[in-house]
Amino acid sequence: MILCRTIAELKNELYKIKHSNDQATIGLVPTMGFLHEGHASLMRQSAAENTASVLSIFVNPMQFGPNEDFDRYPRDEERDLAIAQANGIDLVFMPEVKEMYPAKPRTSVIVSQLTERLCGASRPGHFDGVGLVVSKLFHLVQPDRAYFGMKDAQQLAVIQQMTDDLNFPVEIRPCPIVREPDGLALSSRNVYLSAEQRQQAVVLSQSLASAKEWVAEQGMTPEELLSRVKAKISEAGQAEIDYVEWLAYPSLELPAWNEPIAEHRGKYILALAVKFGATRLIDNSLFVTNEEVYNHV
């Protein structure tokens, strides 16, 4: 496995891969490091589908708000490199901030509409920073495929839209959410939780599991569903709800609010963001109509 810290090194190594085999395909797994099994599953999928896999590890300051956790975002270079090596990565790109942004960028990548709700509303400017860095990574690596986890379902929708709008020649590969045995979705931010918050955080996946049953109830409306989910989350004493939303996916448009869910057609997302102390966790479930019944997918 090769480690590149500069763009020049990255380009040089990619040139060698592409010119040693003109059929070579490149997979890109963009991350902010502090890798966990969720990231490892993306790396393994990339390794299985491509000639060579590139892992980027870059805590991107452009996607953090002024009062967010950029400075304290967890980092562990040595452990990350070991995980990358064990999961089929050929090349790790780990630049410093000044390598990616030698000067303040004057270009914005703004995906409209899809960024208006959910994390886009709670974290103004977040997706502009994601769009900018992912565009730069796509230009630098020129991957055939790029791998993103479904836990960040809005990010995935935004990146797919950006890829389509800007004609990036990249296939976006969504990968399933990976969970702890008790259901908590893996996240680098889980390390911030106290023991008690960690216990309580399981309420996110539990409320999604309950929602799978509630959705099937006759006459269930988005309004009633969301109020039940909120009530369930609030049973955890330290949980502070940021949002609970039921939206069409991937358009992220609002459904008819008080019409029975069974009358809606297509794919929907139930998306949650909940704070435990200073730690904000997200989770979601996708639902799709099958004839007249909503099935969880």
Q: Which residues are annotated as a binding site?
A: 32-39, 63, 149-152, 155, 178, 186-189
Distances, alpha carbon 158 to alpha carbons 72, 119, 153, 211, 244, in Å: 26, 11, 9, 25, 19
* Nearer CB in complex with ligand PAF: 63/207: 63
Task: Report yes or no: 284 and 208 within 8 Å, Cβ to Cβ.
Answer: yes
Provide, rounded to whole angstroms, the least separation between the CB of residue 88 and ligand PAF.
Answer: 18
Within residues 162-181, the interface with ligand PAF by CB under 6 A covers: none
Q: Which is nearer to ligand PAF, 147 or 294 (CB)?
A: 147
Q: Would you count residue 270 as binding ligand PAF (CB under 6 A)?
A: no
Q: Sheet containing 91-93: which strands, arranged edge to edge?
A: 2-4, 91-93, 52-57, 26-31, 145-149, 171-175
Options 102-110, 126-134, 225-233, 275-283: segment touching ligand PAF (CB under 6 A) = 126-134
| Closer Cβ to ligand PAF, 133 or 274, answer by number | 133
- Annotate 112-153 with three-state secondary structure: CCCCCCHHHHHCCCHHHHHHHHHHHHHHHHCCCEEEEEHHHH
Stretch that binds ligand PAF, among 2-10, 73-81, 130-138, 203-211 (CB under 6 A): 130-138
Minimum distance from CB of 293 to ligand PAF (Å)? 33
Please tell me which residue in 39, 139, 264, 296 is annotated as part of the active site. Answer: 39
Q: Which amino acid is at 186?
A: L
What are the beta bridge partners of residue 54? 28, 91
What does the per-residue mask of binding to ligand PAF show for 59-78, with x meaning CB under 6 A? -x--x---------------
Distance between CA atoms of residues 274 and 157, nearest Å:
21
133 is an interface residue for ligand PAF by CB under 6 A: yes
Contact flags string 9-48 toward ligand PAF, x per CB under 6 A: ---------------------xxx----------------
State which amino acid sits at residue 253. Answer: E
Q: Which of 130, 208, 225, 244 binds ligand PAF (CB under 6 A)?
A: 130
Binding span for ligand PAF by CB under 6 A among 90-98, 127-135, 208-216, 264-272: 127-135
Cβ at position 278, least distance to ligand PAF in Å = 19
- And the tokens for 280? 């904000």
Contact 177, 149 (CB under 8 A): yes
Give the type of residue at 132: L
Residues touching ligand PAF, count (CB under 6 A): 10
- DSSP states of 232-253 as a string? HHHTSTTEEEEEEEEEETTT-P
Residues 6+ away with beta carbon under 8 Å from 291: none
Between 73 and 214, CB nearer to ligand PAF? 73
Q: What share of the chain is helix, strand, coil (3-state, %, to 5)?
A: 40, 20, 35
Q: Is 205 in the site for ligand PAF (CB under 6 A)?
A: no
Active site residue 39: yes
d(CA 177, CA 123): 22
Binding-site residues from annotation for (R)-pantoate: 63, 155
Catalytic site residues?
A: 39
Binding-site ranges for ligand PAF (CB under 6 A): 30-32, 60, 63, 130, 133-134, 152, 155
